[in-house]
A and B are shown apart, each in its own frame.
Chain A
Amino acid sequence: MTEIANEKKASRLVVWLLAIVVGLVIFYLLDHAVMGMQGLPLNWDLTPAQ
């Protein structure tokens, strides 16, 4: 029972980590795209490139 519970916990952790990565990527790319489209490019660390 404990093994199943641990396995479930681990898979949930993976789900959360994946969700966080997806969220992070979406908004990181969004920032670059939105500012780039306005002619305001950003560096990789989101500081202004101009």
Chain B
Amino acid sequence: MMAFITPRRIRRARQSAGFLATVPTLIAFVVLACGGLATQVSAAEGDDAVTGVSADEHDVARTTAASLSPAPTPQREDYPSIGVSSRGIVWVIAQMHLFFGALVLAVPIFVLVIEIIGFRTGDDRYDDMAHEFMKVSLTAYAITALFGGTLALALFLLYPHLMSYLMTAFGSQVLVYAGLFFLESMLLYIYYYGWNALRYGNRKWLHLTLGLLLNGVGTTLLVVANSWTTFMMAPSGVDPETGAIVGNIWEVMKGPLWNPLNLHRVIANVAFGGAIVGAYAAFKFLSAKTPEEKAHYDWMGYSSNFISILAFLPLPFAGYWLMAEIYAYSQQMGILAMGGILAWLFVIQAVLICTILLAGNYYLWTGMARSEGADRYRWAIKYIATVLILGFLVWVTPHNVIYTTAEAVKLGGGNHPVLGPLGIMPAKNIAVFLMLICTFLSFQLYRRADKVITVSWQYWGNALMASIYIFAIVNIIFAGVYYGYFTNTVYKVGSSVIQVMSTVVVIVAGVVIDSLMFRGAKTLHVSWGRVAERSQYALFALPIAFTWLMALMGYVRSSVRTHWHVYTVMPDKSADNFIPTLQTVGNMVTLVTLLFLAFLLFIFWIANLSGTRQLPVAEDARSQHAGAVT
């Protein structure tokens, strides 16, 4: 009988038992999904009731809407004033809350993935790295909550009518949010502080389950908060004439922009979180005293950059979807964002995104020095750099500038005869997608640098990969130039999907072909810690550019509401109901960026302080004396 109980069976039994620990999570997700589905069905029934075919039913719905409380319409004098711009106060606090919220919700996502990798490979380094990432997140968590509370107080103080309306719209959902926040806090603390207690065997399964629950609750928090934002931009479940809330909570939440924003924020948060912990790793690398420490933080920095750029690559697609939905919801909003005064901010966005891509690529190129096999691919760097620089120049070219009459006459019109065509979307799309492809190429070369491929079909695999790169690039340029400049607008807009899909094909093909080619590959030695210190400054550049970018584009997203608190149903009649000058925007965005970076340094310092231990006084004096003698 005992012969049947082999170590393999015991391991399997343990794994099965461990898997059982994940059952509560699975049940929770099923319940949540069913709950969502049930609400969707009831919402669909609600749709039928409101948009019923018979005229009588329609009248009844209208009468019901009229009998409900309309959206408040406060006048200028109804807004409380504390002598400072209310918008300015809320702007700063909300942005700080969003920065920290993004960080604390994103870090556990990739920490869980790293923990799973560590569990599957049995390599403790992954576990240690994931734990250290969580340390940064945990320190930021309290600050997130503080800014969140302050934001709520500021909004209730300065915009009471708006908050009253939002409370009517979302009702008890806000209490669900508060409950989720409690749950998130408990899970976060158990997940972090229980790390070493639940590190091996079945206990690890429990820990992974906690991580999964933490992410489930965190992401739910995010999408709930997103529904408030998107309701203000594109309200649903309301009577369009009075602003009265006529739908149930699901109808109010599921506005047209909700899911695009959900996707965009989740991806952007991961990219942002990766960049922040990358800066932490760089900070620790530069202050490391031993080669072991340097090796650890070098590897941590590389992993962070990998997470950040990998999440960044699909971000333009999510942004494209969000912007397309904004256009579909309101052309006026879309044109204001990308064709009006706010379009200038997209030029600055281009500079920041190019900074991110250049920094990310530069880090990879310098990081190739760690591997002995990197020389085989170094020749490609100058070509990749050329494409990145050219892409940057095209992306940053504005369509038109405000000229004096003399300048316009000299130029022969409003647009530059040569550079003018580079100012519109087809040229910029070509630039963006080629830059993304080049960034992926840098990744691919980096991953290949420490490997000697041994599969028999490697020549065929390389030829296929090269062919996919060449035709993807040709296709992107062809779609941009031909459909963008020589066909009608409908085909021009539609062709950008060709460019998206061409880029996706390259990324998917690259991952699949490499995964197959790396089977049985010989791995060369990688010297972690053997990297130029200047590469670490690229890791500092990433969070700075990301933070600035989030502040800038967050402002654009919010500003397209113009003089509406809730677009088309609740007007903003406060003293700040206008789009500020670009100079004001630039100053505010820079202010919040600097403020966040200052807090970030504080967090790094605190995280570092927790690992510092003072020696007993006598021992300390002895060691100092010994140091003085030597």
Contact = CB atoms under 8 A, between A and B. Distances in A.
Nearest to B461: A19
Chain B interface secondary structure, helix, strand, loop or mixed?
Answer: helix
Interface string B454-495: 000001100110111011101100110011000110110011
Chain A interface secondary structure, helix, strand, loop or mixed?
Answer: helix
A35 B464 contact: no
Contact of B464 (A12, A19, A38, A40): A19
A27 B460 contact: no
B464 A48 contact: no
Given A27-B472, A27-B475, A48 B505 contact: no
Contacts of B474: 27
Contacts of A20: 467, 470
Nearest to B474: A27
Interface size class of chain B, counting residues whose CB lies under 8 Å from the partner chain: 20 to 34
A30 B468 contact: no
A38 B467 contact: no
B475 A31 contact: yes
Given A27-B472, A27-B475, A48-B487, A19 B467 contact: yes
Contact of A19 (B463, B487, B501): B463
A22 B461 CA distance: 12
Contacts of A47: 487
A15 to B, nearest CB: 5
A34 B493 CA distance: 12
Contact of A23 (B470, B482, B488, B501): B470
Contacts of B475: 27, 30-31
A16 B467 CA distance: 8
B460 A30 contact: no
Contacts of A16: 463, 467
Contact of A22 (B467, B478, B487): B467
Interface in A13-47: 15-16, 18-20, 22-24, 26-27, 30-31, 34-35, 38, 40, 46-47
A31 to B, nearest CB: 6
Contacts of B467: 16, 19-20, 22-24
B274 to A, nearest CB: 30
Nearest to B460: A15
Nearest to B465: A19
A4 to B, nearest CB: 16
Nearest to A25: B471
B470, B475, B482, B501, most chain A CB atoms within 10 A: B475
B402 to A, nearest CB: 35
A40 B505 contact: no
A5 B505 CA distance: 34
A18 B468 CA distance: 12
B498 interface: yes
A24 B472 CA distance: 9
B455 to A, nearest CB: 14
Contacts of A26: 468, 471, 505
Interface string B433-462: 000000000000000000000000001100
Interface string B576-597: 0000000000000000000000
Given A15-B459, A26-B471, 7 more contacts: A15-B460, A23-B467, A26-B505, A27-B502, A27-B505, A31-B498, A46-B478
The 7 closest A-B pairs by CB, nearest first: A23-B467, A19-B463, A23-B471, A19-B467, A27-B471, A40-B494, A27-B475
